[in-house]
Structure 1
Amino acid sequence: MRVNGSWSGVIGLSGGRSFLAHSHHQAPMKTAKPFVGPDGELILYLMDSSPGLFNGDKQEITCTLEAGAELYLTNQSSCKLHPSVEVEAGSRQVSTFYVGEGAFLEYRPEPLVPYQGSRHEGETVVHLATGGQAVVSEIITPGRVGHGEVWAYERMMSRLSVYWDGELAVWDSLLLEPKSWETSLGLLGEYTHVATLWVLSEQVSGEHLRLLQEFLAPCKEGDVYAGVSRLSKNGLVVRLLGRSVWQLEKVMQECWEMVSVEMRGKGALKVRK
């Protein structure tokens, strides 16, 4: 049986505090009780009552941030991707966000863990109005390392599209098919985990790029290999390779903390899990 779980929500702003104006879910997806952060931002955890995504399952997230609203959106745990029995029926995730004028979205989902034989396609679409800002991250693991399932999945596809006032500004696609590799060393070297951090804002400048380049320079000789590029319009992207999730999360958080004060006038939010 194929399962289509979904959540849709609207985040509003009242009295300087963001709130959940509308929420609708379809099992197995649901939300934990939202709470407000120290600066009035809404913090929301998505939950999946199933053990993960199976062959043919689909998961959809649709969220609108009204003008001035702020949302930190994450999930409780990593997303487990189970084997795909049918070649053309892998699992799929689609996340669509509408960020209004002066609104801020931070979407920090937990890592994807593809099991042996799994096929998965993920797509994130971000629509930003003038003055809107968003931070989006993703971590892809090589599989269940403790079970010896490193690069044992069939296919992983990840796509991102960013629109500014209805105009396409960013399109990115990552395809990983381990069985087609003669050796993983030719693609990822000695690293096993892939991560990306997108900072989407009209406030991004060449100075932000310089700061992050200097910060990430030592990473080219350590457990994390990372680099940063400025987008052609309103943003930057940090690409990382590593050997563990916590190392990648640490570097991404430090990158965001370096630029958040200048961009938003306050420090980066730290959420415990």
Structure 2
Amino acid sequence: MTATQAGQTPVSPLGQQTRTGTLHLTFEQVDGRTVLMREFQKAPLMIVRPFALPCGTLSVFVVNPTGGLLGGDHNDIQIRVGPGARALILTQSATRVHPSPTGAAATQTVQLSVAQGGRLEYYPERTIPFAGSRLVQTLHATLEPGAELGLTETLASGRVHSGERLAFAEYRSRTEVWQGSRHVYLDHLRLTPGPHTRTPGIWHDLDYAASGVFVGPGTVQDWPAEPGQLASGRSAGGAVWLRAAAAQGLRLDASLHTARQSLRQQLFGATALQIRR
């Protein structure tokens, strides 16, 4: 058994101390309200006290007070939503990925589980990979029939305003969604910037990208779309996918917010989110 498997803090060959953050949350419906029934958190991952939104959804902010992920760090996030419960997971700030002297990748695994009649929405803030950094993350969602899921993620090409653009070493992300025994969505992305990365069709002059997947019982009639910036459609498995890119982060955020609200209303029959920060 390795030190990581034993729950100890791993140490790199050069003596660099790394961190393993853990966050396990379970939401249930009790007397018509969503409550956080169980939580386990291990620094540097923690949550702000959950609060109910006017629509009845219980919102939780995830916080990392250390300033980001260092090479060799690992985050383990597990979220379960029971029947009838409604949970919204947000992050307080962007995820900053720092390099390590050894070149080791920071890693993150996210496991989402939603029971029949439950709804989980997971909308983390932007990921910003610093020059020389590596990030490998996987997200696996398991939905019972009748469960609802909303997920969006955004990525910057680097610390753009500091002159770092596509200077990270590697970014890998795998997102998959299962509904019962059906594989309804798979997105596997690997970016390794090089001399040809700035050619049209890859990033060109756009510095911010977003992806998303939504699963719900409703029918989409008004598909979110903005020429040259945002598109949506349906996967072969029946999930709704979303893609967006923009030269400015705020412009991407605005487009993503509008598209997200539209899909929530059409697929979930949900009212607009009123988030208190």
**TM-score, scaled to structure 1:** 0.90
- Deviation, 1:73, is 0.2
Asked if residue 187 in structure 1 is aligned to residue 194 in structure 2, the reply is: no
Query: Aligned equivalents of 1:158 and 1:259: distance in 2?
Result: 23
Q: What is aligned with 2:274?
A: 270
User: Which structure has the highest helix share of the two?
Assistant: 1
Q: What is aligned with 1:18?
A: 34
Query: Aligned equivalents of 2:110 and 2:62: distance in 1?
Result: 12
Percent of residue pairs identical: 23
Alignment match of 1:139 (pick from 154, 159, 172) = 154
Q: What is aligned with 2:134?
A: 119
Query: Aligned equivalents of 2:93 and 2:250: distance in 1?
Result: 13
Alignment of 1:94-243 (within 5 A): 94-179=109-194, 181=196, 183-203=198-218, 205=219, 208=220, 210-212=221-223, 215-216=224-225, 219-221=226-228, 225-243=229-247
- Deviation, 1:178, is 0.9
Q: Which amino acid aligns with 1:16?
A: G
Alignment of 1:13-92 (within 5 A): 13-87=29-103, 89-92=104-107
Secondary structure of the corresponding residue to residue 194 of structure 2? helix
Secondary structure of the corresponding residue to residue 250 of structure 2? helix
Secondary structure of the corresponding residue to residue 179 of structure 1? coil
Q: Which amino acid aligns with 2:142?
A: H
- Deviation, 1:186, is 4.1
Q: Where does the alignment leave 5 or more consecutive residues of structure 2 unmatched?
A: 1-16
**TM-score, scaled to structure 2:** 0.89
Q: Could you list the per-position Cα deviations for residues 15-48 of structure 1 after superposition, in whole angstroms to 9, with x for gaps in the alignment?
A: 2210100000011111111101112211001111
Q: Which amino acid aligns with 2:70?
A: F
Provide the aligned C-alpha RMSD in A.
1.6
Query: Aligned equivalents of 1:139 and 1:262: distance in 2?
Result: 22
Q: Where does the alignment leave 5 or more consecutive residues of structure 1 unmatched?
A: none
Rate the CA distance shift 1:93–1:180 in 2: closer, same or farther, 3 A: farther
Q: Kindly indicate whether the alpha-carbon contact (under 8 Å) linking 1:120 and 1:155 is maintained by their aligned counterparts in 2.
A: yes
Query: Aligned equivalents of 1:186 and 1:167: distance in 2?
Result: 31
Q: Could you list the per-position Cα deviations for residues 212-269 of structure 1 after superposition, in whole angstroms to 9, with x for gaps in the alignment?
A: 1xx51xx325xxx121121122321111111222222211221122232333233131
Query: Aligned equivalents of 1:173 and 1:181: distance in 2?
Result: 20
Q: Which amino acid aligns with 2:271?
A: G
Query: Aligned equivalents of 1:272 and 1:13: distance in 2?
Result: 22
Query: Aligned equivalents of 1:65 and 1:182: distance in 2?
Result: 40
Q: Kindly indicate whether the alpha-carbon contact (under 8 Å) linking 1:256 and 1:268 is maintained by their aligned counterparts in 2.
A: no
Q: Which amino acid aligns with 2:245?
A: L
Query: Aligned equivalents of 1:200 and 1:180: distance in 2?
Result: 38
Secondary structure of the corresponding residue to residue 161 of structure 2? helix
Q: Could you list the per-position Cα deviations for residues 98-127 of structure 1 after superposition, in whole angstroms to 9, with x for gaps in the alignment?
A: 000010111000000110100101111110
